[in-house]
Amino acid sequence: MSTVETDLVASDAIFQAQDICKQFGPVRALNNVNLTVRRGEVHALLGQNGAGKSTLVKIIAGAERPDSGRLLVDGEPLRAGDPDAAVSRRVAYVSQEGSLNPGFTVPENVFLGREKTRFGLLDRKRMRREVEEVLAEFGLDLDLHHEVRALNPAKRKLAEIVRALALRPWLLVLDEPTAALPQPDVDHLLSIIRQLAESGIGVLFISHYLSEIFSVASTATVLRDGELVWTGPMSSTNATALVRHMIGNEVEAVAPPRGDAIAGAPVLEVQNLSTADGRVQSANLAAHSGRVLGIFGVVGAGKSELLEAIFGLHPATGGKISLGGQKVDRWGPREAIRAGMALVPEDRLSKALLAGRSIAWNVAMPYWNSLSRGFSIGGREAKLGDEVISELGITAPGSHTLVEHLSGGNKQKVSVGRWLGTHSAARIFLFDEPTQGLDVGARAGVYRLMRNLADNGASIIVASSDLEEVLAISDDVIVIKNGKTTALNENESREAAAVLAAAT
């Protein structure tokens, strides 16, 4: 099935995975996969959500044990299923979904499990000094004094990368490192990755953004359905060919055509909305049935906080929210759901899903009261879960599957799917970074879903730091900067330069 266009098993290989197989129950995650990363190269690993990428990198990092196959670091066997063995062999892994302790500072997280001590006490000054050296070496800036929970998603991701760099790795595995970063930080990170490769480190780089792949990678491997389908130099391929390898066929335009619904009276109107923490300041927007409103802003601009305030998660200290022309008074998530509002948050694991629960449980959670009627809801949960799996094409054996066993893209589908179907009264959808971490095919599916919802009369609000995404899917566009919104006229909302200028 696979196509190999260059001999990657070379004398300068820093890492090799040979004939790796892994199965989770009935799901075959990897089938005889081979991978070689050489010194001084950035090797891209591509594939749709559920292709096996995250499973493979977890095996490399020792977080999962393969059913068969072997790993080699610098030509010597690496004990599989042992994270400490991987670290001791200078294999560093930055996961897609984060693994920092939110109650610790950055230095405490960097040295977690290998703390520096002096006279039997934790030597915080030394740990902070060594982290400062890493920051200075790579031109990074992080708050080292406050707990990680105080950092925004971009800074938390940078903290994880710093923790990996502090290991002075031979092999650095980066699983979707740019997914939550604004473009300036993405560009900076890509330049750092190039520096690392130039210094002789082998980098295994996973990203769904082909522009990033072509920017930094010299070699690529494509997985599909747990199997290697292509590997070769980037110079021998192009974006269309890589997408074809990933999904097995040509793809249409990622975003569907814009709708033609004429804006009538707004179904949701926000006027001069502010929150106590200052993250939202005098924000204004109007959302209409049958249309997609895009909110563009860089990471940290306040777009997530605005959506959460609209949904009632943050009490408003000023301004008003109106539904169908009527001002709402007492307002919280329960009232928002009853009014037909749905929120799909950016941080799907901590704010949308419980990873240790099943698909069915997560889908049914907002509707327990209506589902139970005083009786067990297990059967009804399963039915809802099965409906969502079928409707959104979630790759899972069944609705009993735990969310923690799903790929990142399938987790996102679960967080969206809970608001769909006959069990939901949602007519106003708030999507916060809806395609973060999704591959080309999965992004196209989410865009089609949003457009179908709008075509059926729903009002869609999409907050995103991806300018190309906002321009592609939105009928109307506003910009948020430092918690304040700016309305754009029709011509400005179609011009990337105008939108970006208003946001930066």
Residue 306 DSSP code:
H
Distance CA 152, CA 27 (A): 35
pLDDT by residue, tens only, the chain of 504 residues: 566 554 444 568 999 999 999 998 877 899 999 999 999 999 999 987 678 888 999 999 999 999 999 999 999 999 999 999 999 999 999 887 778 999 999 999 999 888 888 888 888 899 999 999 998 887 788 889 999 999 877 788 889 989 998 988 999 999 888 865 667 778 888 988 998 898 889 999 998 778 889 999 999 999 988 999 999 999 999 988 887 888 775 444 456 666 666 667 899 999 999 998 888 999 999 999 999 999 998 767 889 999 999 999 988 899 999 999 899 887 888 899 888 898 988 877 777 788 888 998 888 887 766 665 544 456 778 888 888 888 777 888 888 899 888 877 788 788 888 877 655 678 999 999 888 767 777 777 788 888 888 998 999 999 998 877 888 899 999 999 888 999 888 777 777 778 877 886
Q: Where are the domains of the chain?
A: 3-90+169-247, 261-340+465-504
Domains 3-90+169-247 and 261-340+465-504 share a fold: yes
Give the pair of three-digit tokens for residue 468: 């190309």
φ/ψ region of 272 (left if φ > 0, alpha if ψ in -120 to 50, else beta) reads left
Q: Identify the CATH number of the domain defined by range 3-90+169-247.
A: 3.40.50.300
Distance CA 255, CA 273 (A): 31
Distance CA 33, CA 30 (A): 6
Q: Name the pTM for this structure.
A: 0.62
CATH number assigned to the domain with residue range 261-340+465-504, chosen from the 4 options 3.40.20.10, 3.90.170.10, 3.40.50.300, 3.40.50.150: 3.40.50.300
| Measured CA angle at 148 (ends 143, 153), to 5 deg | 90
H/E element, 479: strand 476-481
Residue type, 247: I
Largest CA distance in the chain: 72
Residue 75 class from Cβ within 10 Å (0-12 exposed, 13-18 middle, 19+ buried)? Answer: exposed
